[in-house]
Every structure is written in C-alpha cells, then in structure tokens.
Amino acid sequence: MSQLFPMFLKLEGKRCLVVGAGETGEAKIAGLLGTGARIKVVAPEASETVREWAKEGKITLETRAFAPSDLNGVFLAVVATAASALNREIYQEAQRRGVLCNVVDVPELCDFYYPAVVRRGDLQIAISTSGQSPSLAQKIRQQLERQFGPAYERWVAELGATRRRVLASNLDDKRKRELLHSLASSDAFEAAVAQKYKREYANAAAKTTGV
C-alpha cells in the first residue's frame, strides 16, 4: 500500500454529501459542521439530532434514497449506510466523477480516512493508522489529550497574536525566527500557564475580598 499524504483540508463553501443519517452518519456530519462546508444529507430516515440540524439551517436534509445525481458538483462524500451493495455503488460512482469518498469502516472503499484528533482550539493533532487499527489511534489520542491539556487552546491563540506582532516589528529576520522559536518552547508554555493561574487566583481573591 502506498504511503498516505497527511493534510488538513479547507472545506469552507465546498459541497459535501453525507449518505446515511443514523448514529454513524450523525457523527460524521457533526465533524463537518464547523468547517463552513455546504452539507447535504440524503437518507430515508434521520436521527432526531440530524433533523434538528436541518431545522436550524446547518445542513440540507433530504429524506429519500440516494440517487447518482446527488454527487453532482460535490467535492467530498461520506457514506454511512448499513447496505454494503449501496456503499460500493456510491463509491464507484464517486470514483467516476472524481469525488473524494469515504465509506465508513470499509478501508478499501476510502480515498481518505478519518483520523483520531486532539483539538485544542486552533491546535489540532491528527493520528492515523491508515485504517489498520482505529482502536490504537484512539488510545494514542487519549495519551496526547493528557499531554496537551486544555490550557494549550488559550496559549496557541496568544502565540498567534504574538507572532503577528513579531512579524510586523522592525527586527531582522534572524531575530524574528529566534524569538518565535523561543516563544513556542515548553518552558515558555509552562511560564504562560503559571502566569495565567496566578492572574486567575488574584482575580478570584479580589472578588472574594471585594478589592
């Protein structure tokens, strides 16, 4: 098997199709919601949550059987049905049209895999075993979640703001690179977290004492 090419896709404004709206389909739809993609869901039946998303205008839901025309103009398709023959049919149609397709839990019918993901705001760490062992990917994700705790979300946001100020400064390029590398060090993170807790403790104490 050829090596996978890891990347993060920008889906904003792109048409994405999900076929299937049960428990599995719902999870795949949820993963697309924050991307800005134009999500169309086709399924004879849909979970209550999926129907609610449709009512809120987050997705377009059509409660009917899949038709090949559903792939017209689609950039990416996710297939989450229990019918293996239908899954293969949709995948083959997607291949003919050059549409990226993932048939859930069927690695041989996938152009891409869903990784296990650690999310801390703008920081995302994706883990993949190329479909060989999703359980292992999940265990590694859990380990990384402990290593990269919730404090990283705020720190990464602050790093981004600081980076923009440094790049806009009059420092020479070498000094900018050195400064940015030092700001992203583990020592800098620990100092930032310690300072954050110190400020929060001081604010809490001030509220308690009324100062």
Domain boundaries, the chain: 15-113, 115-149, 151-202
pLDDT, tens only, 111-121: 998 888 899 99
Q: Dihedrals φ, ψ of 42, to 5°?
A: -125, 125
Per DSSP, helices labelled H in 44-185 are: 48-55, 84-97, 134-147, 151-167, 173-183
pLDDT, tens only, 47-102: 999 999 999 999 999 999 999 999 999 999 999 999 999 999 999 999 999 999 99
* CATH 3.40.50.720 given to domain 15-113: yes
- Confidence band (pLDDT; 50, 70, 90) for 192? confident
Q: What mean pLDDT comes out for the span 153-180? A: 91
d(CA 56, CA 49): 11
Who has greater pLDDT, 68 or 183? 68
pLDDT at 45 over 50: yes
The mean pLDDT of the chain is 89
pLDDT, tens only, 17-27: 999 999 999 99
Class in CATH terms, 115-149: alpha beta
DSSP 2-50: PPP-------TT-EEEEEEESHHHHHHHHHHHTTT-EEEEEEEEE-HHH
Who has greater pLDDT, 153 or 50? 50
- Confidence band (pLDDT; 50, 70, 90) for 200? low
Farthest-apart Cα atoms in the chain, separation: 69
Who has greater pLDDT, 209 or 182? 182
What would the two tokens of residue 168 be?
Answer: 């806009």
Beta-carbon neighbour count of residue 146 at 10 Å? Answer: 8
d(CA 44, CA 145): 37
Who has greater pLDDT, 171 or 210? 171
